[in-house]
Structure 1
């Protein structure tokens, strides 16, 4: 599952381009533990490898995140999904969509790709069960035809996981 091709999306603004170049430079100098940026020439779409933290249900497991940046990043949150197969987690749907408030309602331009990654790893690390969200099957039916997670009206009610 991937979002629309970059060629069908709007080009990054000058502010977004400058910010992302700065974030890449910072990432290369000090990458967050447990993450590897797969270097490409595409500034608008990053692929990031995630390794589960030691002592958690996901220890040594690897997953891939796809981060797509909108034209007006960082004023608008990036779209972040797990490339299937997504980890079994109560807040991660089979198609890789992530129910995490900072990706939607609680986004702030002060956040970065690194801070998002750390939040996702924290979410994975705090899980006590490897299972899909209770409404996974229903959500998957709604998401046919490549629906973006940004089109979902998320209900953030469970802060235990």
Structure 2
């Protein structure tokens, strides 16, 4: 992983080099920290041009990961979030989208996951 931060220290871009089924791909994760961080989680999603095809990654870049919503803890860091995302990619056995992906088409990525319903315990 490689982190880059511009003028706004609250916005990070993390380059993740794919492994296993994503070998040869590089993905960019955007992490935006709200003023209420660490009480509230950052906005985290993939940005193009390439968004991984994964059962917990929506086509708009949103990531179904409970620690970004109901499972958030103020002790989590940007590094911990990025490692968690890297881990779900590394453990993937097949490429594909979440079963409810069609509902996210056109939705702005990175919105609060407070009210999300997570479909399985691997999310």
Both structures adopt the same fold (TM-score exceeding 0.5): yes
Answer yes or no: is 1:102 the counterpart of 2:29: no
The answer to whether 1:49 aligns with 2:49 is no
Structure-1 separation of matches of 2:52 and 2:6: 24
- Deviations 1:13-44 (CA, angstroms, capped at 9, x unpaired): xxxxxxxxxxxxxxxxxxxxxx1012322111
Deviation of 1:60 after TM superposition, in Å, equals 3.4
1:126 has 2:88 as partner: no
**Aligned counterpart for 2:6 among listed residues 40, 47, 53:** 40
Summarize the Cα distance change of 1:97–1:75 in structure 2 as closer, same or farther, 3 Å threshold: same
Of the two, which has the highest radius of gyration? 1
Pick one of 54, 57, 68 that aligns with 2:32. 68
Q: Does the CA-based 8 Å contact 2:12-2:30 persist in structure 1?
A: yes
Which 5+ residue runs of structure 1 have no aligned equivalent? 1-34
Match of 1:9 in 2: none
Give the 3 Å change call, closer, same or farther, for CA 125–147 of structure 1 in structure 2.
closer
What is the TM-score normalised by the length of structure 2? 0.88
Please report the TM-score for the alignment, with normalisation by the length of structure 1: 0.69
The structure where helix makes up a greater share of residues is 1
How many equivalent residue pairs? Answer: 122
Tell me the distance in 2 between the aligned counterparts of 1:81 and 1:100. 10
Over the aligned positions, Cα root-mean-square deviation in angstroms equals: 1.8
Shift of 1:151: 5.6
Q: Runs (4+) of structure 1 moved beyond 2 Å?
A: 146-149
